[in-house]
Structure 1
Amino acid sequence: MGIRTRRARAHSKTHFVGFGLAGVLGFIALLCVTLALSLGAVVSSWLEDLPDYTSADAFLVAEPTRVYDADGNEIVAYYLQNRRSVDLDEISDYVKRGTVDTEDKRFYQHNGVDPEGILRAAVGQVFGGGDQGGGSTITQQLVRWTVLSDEQFENTLRRKVREAYIAIQMEKTYTKDQILNMYLNAIFYGNGAYGIEAASITYFNKHANELTLNEAATLVGIPNSPTYYDPFTNYENCKSRRNLVLSRMLEAGDITQEEYDTTCAEEIPLNPGQLTDSQSAYPYFTDYVRNLLLQDFSSDTIQAGGLNVYTTLDPEKQQAAEKAASDRIAASGNDQLGAALVSIDNSNGYIVAMVGGQNYGNDADAGQSTVNLATNKRQTGSSFKAIVLVAALQEGMSPTVMINCPSSIQITPTYRPSNIDYHNYGVRTLASATAVSSNTGYVQVAEAIGMDKVSDMAKTLGIDTQIESGLSSALGATQLSPLEMAEAYSTIATGGVHRNPVAITRIEDRNGNVVYEHEDDPEQVVDEAIMSDVIDVLEGVITQSDGTAHVALSMLDIDQPVAGKTGTSDNYADLWFCGFTPQLTTVVWTGRMHDNQRVYYQGVTGGGYNLPIPIWCAYMNAALDGEDREEFPVADHEATYEPNSSWTFVGTSSSVNQQGWSQTTTSTQGQTSETTETDDGADDTTEPTTPTTPATPETPATGGDAGGTGDGTGGGAPETPTEPTTPATPETPTTPAG
């Protein structure tokens, strides 16, 4: 090979090497440019749909949950998250310094994102070295838990880029102190407390500007893991975290060595408190709505807040209900009394009015209470007999069956119930026994069909409380709430169509999306023909001259059919009227709020006629004013019952239900009933003379038409009141009918 050839080959190799290196570098450069452009396009797409972060309101963890009445009026706005915002100067300096030292020690140096902090956190993750803190700044954390709360659990590059971008933009808009203030008002401190003020009250029952170093360091440590560092349930974990906060503050020079040593040696001085924001014109109802939200939605959903809750409350009816109850209670002259009222629209189950008391608040000395009497349970007395009546007819017992209703009756060796004031009502039909509310008659009915049938019927009509098995439960010994009774009576009023009571019709999230909407779901649970007969019987309670609610006729101004049942528990402690028209079912309870003592109205023993019935009538007059008359449901067939002669009652001769037997008179107190027989050959029936004293002296007293106590031994003689039991008004019945 010649020298020229060798030089040419060498030259070509040199150019080849040069060309190859340049090509590689060029390719890499081109790739980087391409990747940068592509990444830029991707990042740009990630930032296209950012939520609004320009308003300080966007950095609140929860917006108010707003509750509206049926007309769309806002009736309360509250935070289901326990939070109250405060200014920075209302927060302890220990909290501010401790938060920065622990969560973001370069907070005042970076622009929203801290590369040094990210590197420090990464090194700590890879090589260990203890708790180095996270890489997120206070600003980034604020963004994550507020405007990006819907994405906070997404561990993606997209979320981190969006978070960093908003954090940088925030730092251009707000000062460091403003950002720190928003952070301290928004962060979750566990136990439902959002923000430092709520946390201060929740754990130490003091304001945020009153926190000591010990208390402040405790709270600063909790947000890192609110459950793990919960001082109520994980005290030692919380204490260790507090000490770590103190060490960070010492390292930053914000506390002295002496402060550090002294505080580390102290216990955490927990002193639980409660912060509430809810204020409402109808606090008992809105409390009830709040409880429904807590039952039906997860805590995470509730904590997101910003809900719009639309309810069934009719403002005009609610105001009429509040006025009817408060006026009557005020006129009683008894500051221990309270009244509850629940009114349900029979056509859809909507709760249109709910009165839970007359003096909402926590000052018991001032007669205040937050207990909702509309959902509170008390003995129902004879108002429960309507449920027994439905059960009896369902089992085939006709309203025309004859029952002996003596003044008292020995049912078992230990149970001897009596009628109110020892009235001897004689032998009469079940319908008539209902009108006068005979305990001795109804306990025989319950015994004949079995209390299991009564309990089952209560559940069918909508009563969730388990009815006690003793026969005294047939006379109202089991405690039930006015809301439960309203649900059951509404099922009667609709001809056996059951609907759950409805308080919430629709719920929207903060963006207006419907997350819940009520759908009507009626169910025919009892034959309409049977319910038609039940309604006829309950109309007699009002229309019959000796009916226990006959006084209502003189108080009503509405042109509507009306039916219902009174109820009075032992010793006149609970007074009820459960009544309905075709449009509305309304239940009223009155009694002493804080005990089960006898009720007095203007110095005399209370009764249905002077407390619940007047409230019921005043409300219904207002609620149905101007409404066209409607009629109760009419079945397209008649109910079928067993022959009256097929029934056996423990205190009633079988002859009274034989064909041809007739009743000529009904006894009153102190008389013996008289009966005649036809020529059907039946044995004579002799009604026992009313005793002047109960046969079993150990039996507790019975008030009103009540059936005794829950132990099954109630229903004895009533106490003799020292004052007159009726007011002087001539239209009042001679006894406080139950």
Structure 2
Amino acid sequence: MKRLIPLILETLDKGLTAANPLIAQAWWRVRHPTWRGVARACAALPVLLLLYVLILIPFTPSIGDIRKAKIEQPAQILSADGKLLAEFKPSNREWVKLTDISPNVVNALIATEDHRFYQHWGLDWRRTASAALHTFSGDRQGGSTITQQLARNLYPDEIGRAPTLTRKLKEAITAFKIEALYTKDEILETYLNTVPFLYNAYGIEMAARTYFDKPASDLNVLESATLAGMLKGNSYYNPVLNPERALQRRNTVLAQMVKFGKLTPAAFETLKRRPLRIDFERQTEPPGPAPHFAQQLRKWLAAWADRNDYNMYSDGLVVRTTIDSRMQAMATQAVTLQGNQLQGIANSAWGARSGCSNGRDLLQTFLRETPDYRAAKDAGLADEDALKRVSSDRDLVKSVCETKTRVQADFLAMDPRTGEIKAWVGSRDFSQDPFDHVQQARRQPGSTFKPFVYAAAFEAGAKPADTFIDKPVEIPLAGGEVWRPNDEDEPSERAISLRDGLAYSRNRITAQLMETVGPNKVARLARAMGVRDSELDPVPSLALGTSPVTLKEMVSAYGTIANLGGYVEPVMVTRIEDRKGEVLAEFAPASPKQELPADADRMLIDIMRDVVNRGTGSSIRSRFGVRGDVAGKTGTTQGNADGWFILIHPQLVAGAWVGFNDSRVTLRSDYWGQGAHSALPIVGDFFQRAQRSRLVDSRVKFATDQEPGWFAERSDRLREWFRQLFAPAPAKPEAVVAQRGEVRRAPAAASASTAPSAESAASGAAVGVGGVVGAPASAAAIEPRALPQPPLLPAPGSAPVAASGAVDGETHGGGEPASAPTPTPDDVVPPDAGGTAGASPGT
């Protein structure tokens, strides 16, 4: 080796000499230094260091950024009526002024971290040199001042985290800039409000609440010393997990306070013997009145701020949203009230309080999906032994049962004229389930999808009075399978109009209409009207809502119906202002795009009125007393896995979904599982409150009436004249009608339809199940019930009957109370999106 090194150097000398004589000469001087050369090199080092510092300056935070941090203000999210919905903070902290922080905190901080804080300009040379000497001797010490630590806390990405010379120089440069722009008190205030303290607590105020359950202004000497001691190492001196270390560190801080005259020796001797007395409680940000809406808005605002060079955490943006705080409160109350009622039903149905004792088979399936079961299997246990092990863990069983059987619900309301979202509830409880079911959950819509089939038919020229025969339907599918949609009752072989087909949600009628119109056309129209993010499978069973969609899409599409066929994209924000109130951006409602001809839309609204007047959604009037011109549709999917209801009004569209996060879990009730009984009460409660508060004007009507043209008006007059001229004299048979104990005669002309009463419809009834060949045997069956027949005229001369339409005991027509009708189940759809598998009649 001794011979090899000289040989390498000699070879290098020859190579450099041959390549470049100047380089060779410089290399020779390095190998043979002189005193003069050494002195020049030492003098050049500071110059090189200064040059390096000048090069680093542009790569440190600018003066503007540091000045902005001084007045950092998070974005404020306001409702349309001026109420605070949320603040977008970068972390869980609450900014407090230095005057609102206990002086004990300041004394402990300065004595421990930077006792010459008021004498230096960002860099303590004496402390830096001392730290360097200790580090070189093997005892590593930190020499950062409070200002340097603040620079690191404020700009971790710009300065870096690696323990290198470059990072220390950037830190020092930034500290000098901070000292030039901030006063000492401002530096202390900013530092104490930005330093982290574990458990998502940032700043001294959140730390005081987290560890001692009090504000920062009330911290005593011991508590202040404990928090100041954590700054050396949050995890290592964590008073919750490492109380002994935290106690020793606290006493070290107290000793430093004595050393620099902030505490008397006598007080120190007394205080150092006292325990920590931690009162720990995690601090969580308050969710606000519209947490799911704020969650979605944060994503939108972050993208807008990036495009327009704003910081939503510090630039003091004021975002004015479309949410009405009063409607939001009503929607939250409605979801909570109905959700709690349904939760009691679910707990009883599943035996949730005893670990899902009523659903052992499904519970075992859920347990097999847990990490505990997989760990047992990985350990080599057989399936039965692994299942027995996890089943013996009562806490695990209870947790799985409660999670799976927790009822979920969501709600959305928007103005169909402008697309402005007025209320948004993404789940029953944001703290327990932050998942946003309005925007993110895709579920089968069931019969709430049927209006798109009828809309496509009306666009193609169909009329509400057109009829189909209620007969067995078989529709061939690709692959040789056959789709056989069914209702709860047997085919009546009678003609049923499109109006009654939708009002009573007849699956066989809708399937025939779908076959006439075509799935592709229905899918295209639904996408145009608002179902724009979810994939719609253009198969016949799409008519019964087999393609999963979101509630936001469905409410948006129903908004197109309420807006006479004009689609308006949903919007969340009306304008954005800066902290001074100057408008930075305005977002005017988009002009409606006519996706459905107005004439076809008017017919659709007219027959959807019958859904709430006499059909499956009539309890919206009988139970909740919703007034005015409204229309809507119920929906229930196979096995009652999903319940839907959407109501439209000229000023507001509101929809709700109810179910479970896992669609294998249901309410196990043919009654409560229907959308008319699970989702409709949420919308009904909300609309009732909104009308009573006059946030929705019940006098406003849909513009569905069309003025007849000149020719049509005179034709009608001529037709009426001929009818009166040639009309035969009416027969006057009489019938006995009992009323209030008397017997009197009444003319038989007061005939009535045998159509189902409004009370029957108020039960939430809609007709039957869509089934397909080869449905899984596990599909829950729904008990068949008697269903209403289509309206028929009475036989000539027969006695009149009480007119249909009895609502909660009211009578209309013949004078006798209508007999209580048999309730009819809501509509259901097969669980498969493609409709290629089916259920036998009656499922």
User: What is the CA-CA distance between 1:609 and the residue it aligns to?
Assistant: 3.2
Assess, with a 3 A threshold, how the Cα gap between structure 1 residues 94 and 613 changes in structure 2: closer, same or farther: same
- Do residues 71 (structure 1) and 81 (structure 2) align? yes
Assess, with a 3 A threshold, how the Cα gap between structure 1 residues 561 and 531 changes in structure 2: closer, same or farther: same
Say how many residue pairs are matched.
Answer: 536
Other structure's SS at 2:483 match: coil
Separation in structure 1 between the aligned mates of residue 476 and residue 111 of structure 2, nearest angstrom:
76
Other structure's SS at 2:633 match: strand
Q: Which residue in 2 is equivalent to 1:726?
A: none
- What TM-score, normalized by structure 1, do the two folds share? 0.59
Alignment of 1:118-267 (within 5 A): 139=147, 142=150, 164-167=179-182, 170-171=183-184, 173=185, 179=187, 182-183=190-191, 185-186=193-194
Match of 1:525 among 588, 594, 616: 594
The aligned amino acid for 1:529 is: D
Assess, with a 3 A threshold, how the Cα gap between structure 1 residues 326 and 186 changes in structure 2: closer, same or farther: closer
Separation in structure 2 between the aligned mates of residue 451 and residue 692 of structure 1, nearest angstrom:
16
The aligned amino acid for 1:279 is: P
Other structure's SS at 1:66 match: strand
- Do residues 468 (structure 1) and 532 (structure 2) align? no
The aligned amino acid for 2:650 is: P
- Do residues 308 (structure 1) and 318 (structure 2) align? yes
- Do residues 414 (structure 1) and 429 (structure 2) align? no
The aligned amino acid for 2:298 is: R
**Could you give the per-residue CA deviations for residues 658-709 of structure 1, whole angstroms, max 9, x where no partner exists?**
xxxxxxx9999xxxxxxxxxxxxxxxxxxxxx99998656575676523322
The aligned amino acid for 2:647 is: G
User: What is the CA-CA distance between 1:209 and the residue it aligns to?
Assistant: 7.7
**Preserved CA contact (<8 Å) 1:329 1:339:** yes
- Do residues 498 (structure 1) and 572 (structure 2) align? no
Match of 1:571 among 639, 649, 653: 639
Separation in structure 2 between the aligned mates of residue 287 and residue 90 of structure 1, nearest angstrom:
38
Alignment of 1:369-448 (within 5 A): 369-375=433-439, 376-406=441-471, 409-412=474-477, 413-424=480-491, 426=493, 427-448=495-516
User: What is the CA-CA distance between 1:569 and the residue it aligns to?
Assistant: 0.7
Assess, with a 3 A threshold, how the Cα gap between structure 1 residues 417 and 297 changes in structure 2: closer, same or farther: farther
Separation in structure 2 between the aligned mates of residue 306 and residue 477 of structure 1, nearest angstrom:
46
Q: Which residue in 2 is equivalent to 1:592?
A: 660
Q: Which residue in 1 is equivalent to 2:416?
A: 346
Assess, with a 3 A threshold, how the Cα gap between structure 1 residues 315 and 439 changes in structure 2: closer, same or farther: same
**Preserved CA contact (<8 Å) 2:411 2:426:** yes
**Could you give the per-residue CA deviations for residues 350-408 of structure 1, whole angstroms, max 9, x where no partner exists?**
2222233333323xxxxxx2223333322110101112222333344444443344355
The aligned amino acid for 1:337 is: V
The aligned amino acid for 1:419 is: N
Q: Which residue in 2 is equivalent to 1:581?
A: 649
Separation in structure 2 between the aligned mates of residue 719 and residue 61 of structure 1, nearest angstrom:
68
Other structure's SS at 1:609 match: helix
User: What is the CA-CA distance between 1:292 and the residue it aligns to?
Assistant: 3.4
Q: Which residue in 2 is equivalent to 1:111?
A: 120
- Do residues 707 (structure 1) and 829 (structure 2) align? yes
Assess, with a 3 A threshold, how the Cα gap between structure 1 residues 598 and 163 changes in structure 2: closer, same or farther: closer
Separation in structure 2 between the aligned mates of residue 448 and residue 628 of structure 1, nearest angstrom:
37
**Preserved CA contact (<8 Å) 2:123 2:148:** no
**Preserved CA contact (<8 Å) 1:61 1:186:** no
Assess, with a 3 A threshold, how the Cα gap between structure 1 residues 510 and 331 changes in structure 2: closer, same or farther: same
**Preserved CA contact (<8 Å) 1:572 1:599:** yes
**Preserved CA contact (<8 Å) 2:94 2:206:** yes
User: What is the CA-CA distance between 1:474 and the residue it aligns to?
Assistant: 2.5
Assess, with a 3 A threshold, how the Cα gap between structure 1 residues 276 and 297 changes in structure 2: closer, same or farther: farther
Name the stretch that deviates more: 378-387 or 313-322: 313-322
**Could you give the per-residue CA deviations for residues 559-586 of structure 1, whole angstroms, max 9, x where no partner exists?**
4112111111111111111111222111
Assess, with a 3 A threshold, how the Cα gap between structure 1 residues 549 and 75 changes in structure 2: closer, same or farther: same
Separation in structure 2 between the aligned mates of residue 210 and residue 415 of structure 1, nearest angstrom:
75
The aligned amino acid for 2:335 is: A
Q: Which residue in 2 is equivalent to 1:287?
A: 295
Alignment of 1:645-660 (within 5 A): none
Alignment of 1:633-644 (within 5 A): 633-634=703-704
Separation in structure 1 between the aligned mates of residue 649 and residue 75 of structure 2, nearest angstrom:
35
User: What is the CA-CA distance between 1:51 and the residue it aligns to?
Assistant: 11
Other structure's SS at 1:516 match: strand
The aligned amino acid for 1:484 is: E
Separation in structure 2 between the aligned mates of residue 667 and residue 695 of structure 1, nearest angstrom:
31
Q: Which residue in 2 is equivalent to 1:329?
A: 339
The aligned amino acid for 1:165 is: A
Assess, with a 3 A threshold, how the Cα gap between structure 1 residues 457 and 71 changes in structure 2: closer, same or farther: same
RMSD: 5.6
Separation in structure 2 between the aligned mates of residue 419 and residue 462 of structure 1, nearest angstrom:
28
**Could you give the per-residue CA deviations for residues 80-124 of structure 1, whole angstroms, max 9, x where no partner exists?**
445567989999x999999x7xxxx9974853255969x99xxxx
Assess, with a 3 A threshold, how the Cα gap between structure 1 residues 452 and 62 changes in structure 2: closer, same or farther: farther
Q: Which residue in 2 is equivalent to 1:561?
A: 629
- What TM-score, normalized by structure 2, do the two folds share? 0.52
Bigger RCO of structures 1 and 2 (CA < 8 A, at least 6 apart): 1
Separation in structure 2 between the aligned mates of residue 392 and residue 712 of structure 1, nearest angstrom:
21
Assess, with a 3 A threshold, how the Cα gap between structure 1 residues 410 and 459 changes in structure 2: closer, same or farther: closer
- Do residues 617 (structure 1) and 740 (structure 2) align? no
User: What is the CA-CA distance between 1:490 and the residue it aligns to?
Assistant: 0.8
Name the stretch that deviates more: 700-709 or 604-613: 700-709
**Preserved CA contact (<8 Å) 1:317 1:352:** yes
Q: Which residue in 1 is equivalent to 2:165?
A: none
Separation in structure 2 between the aligned mates of residue 141 and residue 559 of structure 1, nearest angstrom:
64
**Preserved CA contact (<8 Å) 1:399 1:431:** yes
Assess, with a 3 A threshold, how the Cα gap between structure 1 residues 208 and 599 changes in structure 2: closer, same or farther: farther
Assess, with a 3 A threshold, how the Cα gap between structure 1 residues 62 and 465 changes in structure 2: closer, same or farther: farther
Separation in structure 2 between the aligned mates of residue 539 and residue 278 of structure 1, nearest angstrom:
41
Other structure's SS at 1:610 match: helix
Structure 1, unaligned stretches of length 5 or more?
Answer: 1-48, 121-134, 150-154, 200-206, 219-273, 363-368, 640-664, 669-689, 721-738
The aligned amino acid for 1:532 is: R
Alignment of 1:656-695 (within 5 A): none
**Preserved CA contact (<8 Å) 1:528 1:635:** no
Q: Which residue in 1 is equivalent to 2:716?
A: none
Alignment of 1:545-556 (within 5 A): 545=614, 547-556=615-624
**Preserved CA contact (<8 Å) 1:706 1:715:** no
**Preserved CA contact (<8 Å) 2:556 2:569:** yes
**Could you give the per-residue CA deviations for residues 446-472 of structure 1, whole angstroms, max 9, x where no partner exists?**
344333322222221122222123332
The aligned amino acid for 1:326 is: T
Q: Which residue in 2 is equivalent to 1:32?
A: none
User: What is the CA-CA distance between 1:615 and the residue it aligns to?
Assistant: 2.8
Separation in structure 2 between the aligned mates of residue 617 and residue 480 of structure 1, nearest angstrom:
22
The aligned amino acid for 2:599 is: A
**Could you give the per-residue CA deviations for residues 165-194 of structure 1, whole angstroms, max 9, x where no partner exists?**
324xx13x46xxxx46733643799xx997
Q: Which residue in 2 is equivalent to 1:456?
A: 524
Assess, with a 3 A threshold, how the Cα gap between structure 1 residues 388 and 304 changes in structure 2: closer, same or farther: farther
User: What is the CA-CA distance between 1:215 and the residue it aligns to?
Assistant: 7.2
